[in-house]
Amino acid sequence: MYTDWTAAEIPDQTGRRVLITGANSGIGYITALKLARKGATIVMACRDEGRGKAAISRILAEAPGGRLELVLLDLASLASVREVAAREVDRGLPLDLLINNAGVRLSKRQETKDGFEMQFGTNVLGHFALTGLLLPALERATAQNAGEDGRTRVVTVSSSGHRRGQIDFDDLHSTQRYHPQVVYQRSKLGNLMFSFELERRLKAESSKVASVAAHPGTAETGMYKIGSGKGMAGVAERTLAWTIGAFLNSDAEGALPTLFAATAPEAKGGGYYGPQGFREMRGGDVGEGKVAPQALDRAAAARLWGACEDLTGVRFLHG
């Protein structure tokens, strides 16, 4: 167990290029800020141009001289994923670190531009396609970092909620039944299964790219914010907010497992890291996360990989 690990322990990142999805807010923003402070060049992959530019301005205010780039990426559109990845690969630059951080959590069923259920389509399929299409740039980085095994990494953000998730291969897009929490948990299980299967396939091809997973605990993001009612209703809301907040990580604490997975020499390919507080919901200590049995099902992971290939048309690392 690795305890009391802080962002101050992030090794120097000078010369490293990092692409972070969903970098304009929450954990993605904190991750970008901390890595920029350590000298990395950050490719901010954001869906909204205005929010992306605002995030860059905020980071530069806290990290003057930071090297930041903005790319517009919509993980709910395979066309957007392909365009961004092709542009990145065509630049001929190494990509030292890919952080699959962005995600959606919805209360009603929606579909991506390609007709996939939105949570599964964005959280799982979008990141699967992006990783496969960016693999040439990641491999380019390993060639330039000879002798530094594990330095080039793909970090995929899952959730402790994966432990309640189940992959329904007969209804991946939730057309037969839809419960938002069930579908979200399924997508986070899919993220973790993808990370583990990616590591297995990278190893099978003797790649020096490492696949690592992390989860933030229950981070205090907008989905947990409480309204601003008045009178007794307001008192009740504030009491509820305080109660919930007592069990939530801040964005800064929630980003630590991702930063650990991305940079710590102790982080291993195939690892899964999270906070070590009550039920892994919060805490500044980072250690190995608890993995549900279904996330370790290799046959199911291989089947999920095949389904992702079929749905996205992106095929790589055939194992």
219-to-102, 193, 213 alpha-carbon distances in Å: 14, 21, 16
316 in any annotated domain: no
Instruction: Answer yes or no: is pLDDT of 20 > 80.
Output: yes
Q: Would you call 246 exposed, middle or buried from its count of C-beta atoms within 10 A (0-12, 13-18, 19+)? A: exposed
Comparing C-alpha atoms, which of 301, 256, 260 is closest to residue 277?
256
Q: Mean pLDDT highest for which of 3-17, 67-81, 147-161, 268-282? A: 67-81
Which residue of the set 184, 224, 272, 273 is catalytic? 184
Q: For 55-64, how does the pLDDT look when each residue is reduced to its tens digit (9 = 90+)? A: 999 999 999 9
Instruction: Answer yes or no: is pLDDT of 277 > 80.
Output: no
CATH number at residue 255: 3.40.50.720
- In this structure, what token pair is assigned to residue 155? 């970090």
Cα dihedral: 306, 297, 128, 91 (round 10): -100
pLDDT level of residue 270 (50, 70, 90 thresholds): very high
pLDDT level of residue 250 (50, 70, 90 thresholds): low
319 in any annotated domain: no
Instruction: Answer yes or no: is pLDDT of 274 > 70.
Output: yes
- In this structure, what token pair is assigned to residue 291? 């993995």
Residue numbers of the domain that contains 218: 7-309
- In this structure, what token pair is assigned to residue 277? 């507080």
Crossing angle for the helix pair 298-312 and 180-204, to the nearest 10 degrees: 100
Residue holding tokens 């365009």?
Answer: 83
314 in any annotated domain: no
The lowest-confidence range among 78-82, 124-128, 209-213, 224-228 is 224-228
249 in any annotated domain: yes
- Inter-residue contact 171 to 127 (CB < 8 Å): no
pLDDT level of residue 241 (50, 70, 90 thresholds): very low
109 in any annotated domain: yes
| Distance from the Cα of residue 158 to its chain's centroid | 7
**Is the whole-model pTM more than 0.95?**
no
Say how many domains are in the chain. Answer: 1
Residues 6+ apart with CB under 8 A from 90: none
Average pLDDT over residues 302-315: 98
2 in any annotated domain: no
DSSP character at residue 296: G
As a whole number of angstroms, the distance between CA 270 and CA 290 comes to: 13
Active site residue 224: no
Comparing C-alpha atoms, which of 67, 64, 68, 65 is closest to residue 24?
68
Residue scoring higher pLDDT (246 or 187):
187
99 in any annotated domain: yes
315 in any annotated domain: no
